[in-house]
Amino acid sequence: MDLSPSPFLLLISGPSGAGKSSVYLPLMEKDASLRFSVSCTTRPPRPGEVDGREYHFLSREEFLRQVDQGRFVEHFTVHDQLYGTRRADLDEMLAEGHTPVLDLDVQGGMRILSAYGDQVVSVFLFPPSWEELERRLRRRRTEDEQEIRLRLENAHRELRWADHYGYWVVNEVLEQAIDDLRAIVRAERLRRTRWPRPPLESSGRER
């Protein structure tokens, strides 16, 4: 008896430094049906990042060629670099019964919501405070001062879109935030509308 729930996409947005990957990566390690949606980007890899794992790192020319071919369901400039999600990558994961996990900025998030509608479970991740967000961005030491300023400015802009997301999670205590995301995924799999049919149906005989 196959009662697997109809597939959905898990969209996660929130300001850079909110800790999105720290929240979804541990969950993905334990749940094989969650699959990271590897975006394309023109930004250079950071130390430790692997092409095809965190991102497909493309030259600007290659990125724009794929835009012309209509391969992106959404693509935007984020922090002065191009980022995009390929439609075929998402559709392939859904067809295999997997749950794509999309870590996107709010512009991309809105586009995914309009392209996939009710199939999207959207989560906005908040840092606990502005002070903490700035501390986290500085602690990462991956961006220079100008980039940190740019990311903080963008964070203000991103927060204005939080109302469009179905769930809000505050990443104050990491373990708690991971647990919250786990609860969302679990509840969404149990949503009545995702069941292909009832697990047990009335035989029609009334007593």
Binding site for ligand 5GP (CB under 6 A): 16, 39, 43, 74, 76, 78-79, 83-85, 103-105, 107-108
Identity of the residue, 52 or 199, whose beta carbon is nearer to ligand 5GP in the bound complex: 52
Q: What angle do CA 156, 137, 73 make, to 5 degrees?
A: 60
CB nearest ligand 5GP: which residue?
108
Q: Partners of 148 in the beta sheet?
A: none
Give the nearest distance from C-beta 42 to ligand 5GP in angstroms.
Answer: 10
Give the nearest distance from C-beta 38 to ligand 5GP in angstroms.
Answer: 9
Identity of the residue, 128 or 196, whose beta carbon is nearer to ligand 5GP in the bound complex: 128
Give the nearest distance from C-beta 198 to ligand 5GP in angstroms.
Answer: 37
Identity of the residue, 54 or 132, whose beta carbon is nearer to ligand 5GP in the bound complex: 54
Residue 150 near residue 80 (C-beta atoms within 8 A): yes
Identity of the residue, 84 or 100, whose beta carbon is nearer to ligand 5GP in the bound complex: 84
- How far apart are alpha carbons 151 and 202 in whole angstroms? 56
Distance of CA 68 to the CA centre of its chain: 24
- Positive/negative CA dihedral, 112, 45, 145, 20: positive
Give the nearest distance from C-beta 4 to ligand 5GP in angstroms.
Answer: 27
Record the tokens describing residue 5, joined without a space: 């729930």
In this structure, the strands spanning 81-86 and 39-41 are: antiparallel
